[in-house]
């Protein structure tokens, strides 16, 4: 019973923290002087463009609540399905979309799922994109999503070619969220 009450207090404090992380504050007792710190959640701002909120083995969830199943080609304001099955299918033909774009992208982020990148694969992708004067970064999907979000929020002309990972890593945050969601199913509201 103590554990449920403890989780309930954590949930209440968490929901208050989430409400207060926007640009407006609910409390009138906040500091209003010089040096005030404000927090902006990038995924809530419409003018930033498309950002990746999450990914799974099935696909991706974007900041506009769109779910993309399978691999995708992502641009600051557009998303397309990318016709590759795995990193082995990435070749000059599958990358030709990014070379044909005008204006040219500053950098292409390629997320190859959770497969290790071999030097031969990296060299093949980099040399093809170098012919078209496009910088390229080949990363695992987790790092590629974060890199795309960062560059897109900076206003760079960036594109991403992303393949969902085959396996997912579970971290402490995932385990805590699961425990909290399980405890919510047993909560009873007092009337």
Tell me the mean pLDDT in the region 9-18: 33
CA dist 14 → 5, 20, 54, 142, 190 (Å): 14, 10, 20, 25, 20
Instruction: Give the model confidence (pLDDT) of 170-191 as tens digits.
Output: 777 777 877 887 777 666 666 6
Q: Report the distance separating Cα 120 and Cα 124, nearest Å.
A: 6
Contact 55, 145 (CB under 8 A): yes
Whether the pTM exceeds 0.75: the reply is no
Contact 47, 40 (CB under 8 A): no
Domain ranges of the chain: 52-168
- Class (C level, CATH) for 52-168: alpha beta
Residue 167 has a pLDDT of 82
Q: Report the distance separating Cα 88 and Cα 83, nearest Å.
A: 12
């Amino acid at each position: 019973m103590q554990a449920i009450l403890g989780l309930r207090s954590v949930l209440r404090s968490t929901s208050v923290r989430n409400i207060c992380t926007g640009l407006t504050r609910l409390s009138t007792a906040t500091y209003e002087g010089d040096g005030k710190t404000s927090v902006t959640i990038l995924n809530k701002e419409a003018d930033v463009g498309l950002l990746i909120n999450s990914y799974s083995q099935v696909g991706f969830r974007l900041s506009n609540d769109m779910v993309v199943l399978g691999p995708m080609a992502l641009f600051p304001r557009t998303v397309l399905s990318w016709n590759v099955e795995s990193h082995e299918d990435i070749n000059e033909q599958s990358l030709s979309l990014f070379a044909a774009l005008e204006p040219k992208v500053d950098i292409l982020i390629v997320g190859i799922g959770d497969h290790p990148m071999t030097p031969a694969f990296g060299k093949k992708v980099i040399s093809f994109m170098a012919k078209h004067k496009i910088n390229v970064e080949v990363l695992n999907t987790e790092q590629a999503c974060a890199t795309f979000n960062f560059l897109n929020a900076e206003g760079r002309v960036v594109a991403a070619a992303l393949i969902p990972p085959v396996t997912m890593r579970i971290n402490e945050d995932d385990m805590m969220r699961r425990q909290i969601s399980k405890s919510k199913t047993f909560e009873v509201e007092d009337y």
